[in-house]
A = this chain, B = another copy of it.
Amino acid sequence: MAARDYGQYDGVTRALELVGERWGLLIVRDLLVGPRRYGELAAGLPRIPTNILATRLKELQDAGIIRRAPRSRIIVYELTAYGRELEPVVLGLSTWGFKALDEPREEQILTPAGMTIALRTAFRPDAAAALPPTSYAAGFEGAGLTIGVTGADLTVERGGGPADISFSTGPDIRAMLCGDMSGVRVLHGDERLLDRFAQTFRLAA
């Protein structure tokens, strides 16, 4: 038995042995957004030591959760089908964790991957399906995302781009996803689209 095994035989224990180590699920979270290179992962997890990142990537690979994929001379890490099955767990943690989120502290940063998962967590497909297709360019304190909503489909991409409305927010994303748009500043576009955004993305009370 590996030293850090829990010595029990059941699903929860096995899952925690595979992805329960520190940083493990955050790497999975970032890869749920899309394939990433080593340096991109390191940039999205600013406090992770490089040796830990390397170790976790090997462990996740050995467990069949991620794979290294060569993309024309550069290597990207991507989730396997089995790894993608962690999405409900990650979204569940996101839903649960948001309820315990305080005001953001000075040293806490927003990352593009974290915001992407937050948007997926808050996304209301039913509400979105009843609204016209809309694109939003959102500047989240250093994490610029382009959000596309078409019917019940959601896409989120890094970086800015043309969109129906462009806005920037303060750091308190939780407040915004709970319907408080007071920290939002519209850069261009019809301000009423903010209401549409608030209907489309909303965390449960």
Binding site for B on A (CB under 8 A): 1, 4, 6-16, 18, 20, 22-23, 25-26, 29, 45-47, 63-64, 82, 85-86, 88-90, 92-101, 104-105, 107-111, 114-115, 117-118, 121, 171, 173
Contact = CB atoms under 8 A, between A and B. Distances in A.
User: For the complex formed by this chain, how many copies does it contain in all?
Assistant: 2
A8 B94 contact: no
A117 B9 CA distance: 12
Nearest to A141: B9
B6 A101 contact: no
A175 B204 CA distance: 38
A9 B101 contact: yes
A92 B12 CA distance: 8
6 contacts: A7-B108, A8-B109, A8-B110, A13-B97, A14-B98, A89-B92
Contact of A12 (B11, B14, B117): B117
Given A11-B118, A85-B96, 5 more contacts: A9-B109, A10-B114, A10-B115, A13-B114, A86-B96
B16 A111 contact: no
Please provide the 6 A-B residue pairs with the shortest distance between their CB atoms, ordered closest to farther: A15-B97, A10-B114, A11-B97, A11-B94, A11-B98, A14-B97
Contact of A18 (B88, B90, B97): B97
A12 B97 contact: yes
Given A8-B111, A92-B89, A107-B7, A26 B13 contact: yes
A11 B173 CA distance: 10
A29 to B, nearest CB: 5
A97 B16 contact: yes
